[in-house]
Copies of this chain bind each other. A is one copy, B any other.
Amino acid sequence: MSTIIHKYGGTSIGSIEKIKSVAKKIILEKEKGNDVVVVVSAMGKTTNKLVDLAKEISSNPDKREFDVLLSTGEQISISLLAIAIKSLGYDAISFTGYQVGIKTKGIHTKSEIDDIDTDRIKENLEQGKIVIIAGFQGINEDGDITTLGRGGSDTTAVSLAASLGCKCVIYTDVEGIYPVDPKFYPNAKKLDYISYKEMIEMARLGAGVMETTSVETGYRKNVLIYVTSSSKDTKGTYITENKNTINYKPITGIAIDDNTSILTIKNILSKSNDTSTILEILSNNNLEIKMINEVASDDEYSNLSFIVSKGDLGCVDKAMEEIKLKINCVEVCKDLDVSTISVVSKDINYNVINKIFNILKKDNIEFKQVFTSELSISFIVDNKYKQRFIELLGSEFNL
């Protein structure tokens, strides 16, 4: 008898029918003789609806209270799932983050799990119960409710797996990890295995399925993660470090980030403090900048380019007003119709780069920016080139 974690995302439990079918899936696992711990997200669009309620009151709702609000979403899910399992004749018990001792540190809405007290979980597993835990939430040292930010339920699941020393199955609305999103490249072949580091790089660059924090937690604590479909009975993808099982293709995959916009500030006096003034204003407005690029346009002036999330454009407008007030003559351009296409590889060598640039040249695909990291090379392209570029990369590297 071993313990296993099941994690179900919002889409997988997006309706009462889906909750009932998830209950049956969990019972099947229990029937195999395993102790089952389940972590769930909020149902479907519940979190978005709660966010909208708060935003109707204040554009910048108090973060402590925002966490109190958001945490109700998962609490609804755990109770409904427990009711469903019990109505099928199996014993189950639900716990919120604070009830099961998920202690967090850091700031509200972006807290980190510090410690998990597994006593209550183990005690209930020993009594033969299926234990259902609210993802995404915890409690800080002041006794306040906290949430973990994007992908928080995955982080809860992986952290629990680390504390209980067991495997973590992430049930989701896709069949596993693909080298490139099948939405853009239908021929994409699902991966059987991917290493933590490659997965983190893919996630960081916008490949959907999982967020970086949860995979990083798995990496640090060596948790075997299995990503698979909650609705279909197909093979999924293992995220692990076992060298023998890692694929040896030249590139791991392609990450596509639609949530990209380029912001360019032109005519900045090169020999002034204007650049630092601009950066200070952006930082005061809590803008998360993905990349900065400064290019001299001539001896006197330079242009500053930023890549920011489309979701941050509200803050961007506010910051731009402040910048124009402080610095005369600057001109601001926004370019929203772009995407970031990143090629992820354990080994970004000359051969890989050469192939990519050949594709760009042969097909007259223009890119606006290019940047690299240890495991990736990223291109910002106009959306009109996006689909073609992805198809050519997919076919060239046999993804």
Contact = CB atoms under 8 A, between A and B. Distances in A.
B82 A62 contact: yes
B99 A57 contact: no
A113 to B, nearest CB: 20
Interface in A16-31: 16, 19-20
A159 interface: no
A69 interface: yes
B53 A16 contact: yes
A334 interface: no
Nearest to A88: B58
A75 interface: yes
A64 interface: yes
A83 B58 contact: yes
A76 B72 contact: yes
Interface stretch (A90-98, A176-184, A252-260): A90-98
Contacts of A84: 57-58
Contacts of A66: 79, 83
A87 interface: yes
Interface residues of A, number: 37
A78 interface: yes
Interface in A34-67: 50, 53-54, 56-58, 60-62, 64-66
A51 to B, nearest CB: 11
Given A75-B72, A76-B69, A83 B54 contact: yes
A336 interface: no
A80 interface: yes
Nearest to A134: B68
A16 B56 contact: yes
A83 B68 CA distance: 10
B53 A65 contact: no
Contacts of A87: 57-58, 60-62
Interface string A266-310: 000000000000000000000000000000000000000000000
A186 interface: no
Q: Which of A83, A84, A98 has the most CB of B within 10 A?
A: A83
B86 A62 contact: yes
A57 B19 CA distance: 9
A76 B53 CA distance: 10
Interface of A: 16, 19-20, 50, 53-54, 56-58, 60-62, 64-66, 68-69, 71-72, 75-76, 78-80, 82-84, 86-87, 93-94, 96, 98-99, 143-145
14 contacts: A16-B57, A53-B80, A57-B80, A58-B83, A61-B87, A62-B82, A65-B80, A65-B83, A66-B79, A66-B83, A68-B75, A69-B80, A69-B83, A96-B145
7 tightest A-B CB contacts, nearest first: A69-B79, A58-B87, A68-B79, A72-B72, A65-B82, A61-B83, A16-B56
Given A16-B57, A57-B84, A65-B78, 11 more contacts: A20-B57, A57-B87, A62-B82, A62-B87, A64-B93, A65-B79, A66-B83, A68-B75, A72-B75, A98-B98, A99-B145
